Each structure stands twice: as C-alpha cells, then as structure tokens.
A = this chain, B = another copy of it.
Amino acid sequence: MGDQVSLAVSTVIFALRPHPRTHRPVLWLPLVRRIRAPHQGRWALPGGPLASDEGLAASAARNLRETTRLTPQYLEQLYAFGGLDRASTADERTVSVIYWALVRPEEADAGEAGVNVQWFVADELPELAFDHSLIVEYALWRLRNKVEYSRIAAAFLGETFTLAELRAVHEAVLQRTLDPANFRRQMETAGRLVATEAFRTGGRHRPARLYRHDQSIHLADNGPLTGL
C-alpha cells in the first residue's frame, strides 16, 4: 500500500449575530480562504493536518484560537468524515475529524478575525472547498436537533438569561417563531433551568426573571469522556 491515509482536524464555529438585512439573530460561522491548491481561493472550514504530537480536541481548539483568537466555551467532537470520494487527488486520502464550537456574541465580536478569515451567515454560504458544504449542513442539522433535547443553547448565552433571551436563541437556531407560553412550559418540563432571585430590569419591558442552567448538567456532556 503506497497510499497513506492522512488525518486532519477541522472546526465548525457557530455564533449568533444579527442578520445584515433582517437584523434578526441568525447563525454565523467563520471560514478561511484557501491560499493554495487544491480548491485555491475557495472558502473552507478552519483546520489542517493533525500534528503528531497534538490531541484531537487540542488541534480543534487551536483552529478556533487561530481563526477567532478565542478559547473554547463549548467544543465538542461532531463526526469523522472519511469517505473514499473526498480525496482531492487520486493518491491522497484524508480522514477529517470535525469538531464544533459555539461562542457567545460578545466573544465572537471581541475575537479579532485572523488573516484570510471572514464570518458568513451559516445558511447563505458560497460553495465551500472539499466536502465542507456537507459538513456544515450536517453541523446545522445536529445543532437544530440537539437544541430540542439538551442545554446546548446555553453556549450562546451568558451565565444568566431571561426566558425571552433563551427563546430567541432557540428561534434563531430553529429558524421559526416559538409560542412564548408553550416554550416556558417546555423548559419547565425539561427541568434543566434554575430560577434565580435576580431580574433583568430597564428598557421598555417590565422586569424579567433571570434563569441559569442546572450546573450539574455538563454543557458538552460526554459522560465518561468528560475532561479527557
């Protein structure tokens, strides 16, 4: 076997920011413009070959740091893509382990973008290099599923938040309007929220109670792998 299989790590980084036209919060992600062949000039997920002395998650965290200057708040392995058809040249095959990171808006703003990096609206991307369009599609699908049964939405919020703020995240991720009363009921049933004694005041609205997530539930819950 002359042909080796190489390993790469790439990272899908999501943040919520206002849409440039509608000004409603939507998912954005940063992409890196490829400066060499193959797919030169195309946009791609931040990533690269796995260094032999670097762990998978460490490599993903480095992608995040180099692209956005951020340290991960939420970073989780998404999927390993290794189809035979994803090679760019006949004698080269790459298996890519994909991570995803979720960052808060203020983090995404503070994080100065790296060279050749640009943020895009996740649902309005140009065609990406390699199979990265499919990878982003899968990441969006997973996020939209996961927001229904986990506390993943918290990764986009601060320590405490109002129910309206949490609902806004769900609406932005799911791309549909949610009924406030139904949403409140669902959140109460799920039992992942803890009501605090603090309220968000000011603005045009009456004070709204602040909630936090049950800290006994890990944000990126990997069970026996937590901390590895």
Q: Residues of A at under 8 Å CB distance from B?
A: 1, 3-5, 7, 50-56, 77, 79-80, 82-84, 93, 95, 97, 134, 137-138, 141-142, 145, 149, 222-225, 228
Q: Are A55 and B77 in contact (CB under 8 A)?
A: no
**Smallest CB-CB separation from A54: which chain B residue?**
B84
On chain B, the residues within 8 Å of A50 by CB distance are 5, 82, 95
Q: Are A138 and B80 in contact (CB under 8 A)?
A: no
List the 10 closest A-B pairs by CB distance, nearest first. Answer: A141-B223, A56-B82, A80-B80, A137-B224, A3-B52, A80-B97, A149-B149, A138-B224, A5-B7, A1-B52
On chain B, the residues within 8 Å of A77 by CB distance are 79-80
On chain B, the residues within 8 Å of A83 by CB distance are 55-56, 228
On chain B, the residues within 8 Å of A7 by CB distance are 5, 7, 82, 95
Q: How far is the CB of A24 from chain B (nearest CB, A)?
A: 24
On chain B, the residues within 8 Å of A4 by CB distance are 4, 52
**Smallest CB-CB separation from A133: which chain B residue?**
B224
On chain B, the residues within 8 Å of A134 by CB distance are 224-225
On chain B, the residues within 8 Å of A1 by CB distance are 51-52
